[in-house]
Structure formats: C-alpha cells, structure tokens
Amino acid sequence: MFVKDVMVQNQVGLHARPATFFIQKANEFKSSIWIEKEERRVNAKSLLGILSLGIVGGTSIRIIADGSDEQQAVDALVELVDSSFSN
C-alpha cells in the first residue's frame, strides 16, 4: 500500500471535469485506488464516489493505492492534482 497527501489547489476543487480527468488517470493503473477526505474513503475510479466527497479548492486529500503499480499510480495522481488538472 502506498499513500500520499495532497492539497487540491484549483478553485473549483474536484468537481465534474477535474474528477473526470482524475478517474481517467486512475483507470490507467491496475491497482485499487481510493481518495480519502477526513474520515471518508471512496473508490478513486468512481465519479459518484469522488463527487460525494465535495472536495473544494484548499482541501487536503489522501490518495491511497494498493497493487502492482501502486507507487506509480499515487505519484501520477498527485502530479495531476498539483497541476490543477491541466494534464
């Protein structure tokens, strides 16, 4: 299992379009991937799950992956969040 915390910087947070980019990136990996905000954890490959967290700009989230490519998955998703979803 590989875990990293990241701050969502973009103004709108992780809503429809950024969430779609996030899911597309997450689906490139075989590992199981989750996003955690406070005490809630959702599947990072689920649009409804991500949207249900209500992640807004300035929110800290935890990205967790478990599987054969877990570190690459977390690093790629952290990079995507850090780029304000411009990739």
Catalytic (active-site) positions: 15
**Other CB atoms closer than 10 Å to residue 8's CB: what's the count?**
21
Instruction: Say if residues 45 and 27 touch (Cβ distance below 8 Å).
Output: yes
Q: Is 14 left (phi over 0), alpha (psi -120 to 50) or beta?
A: beta
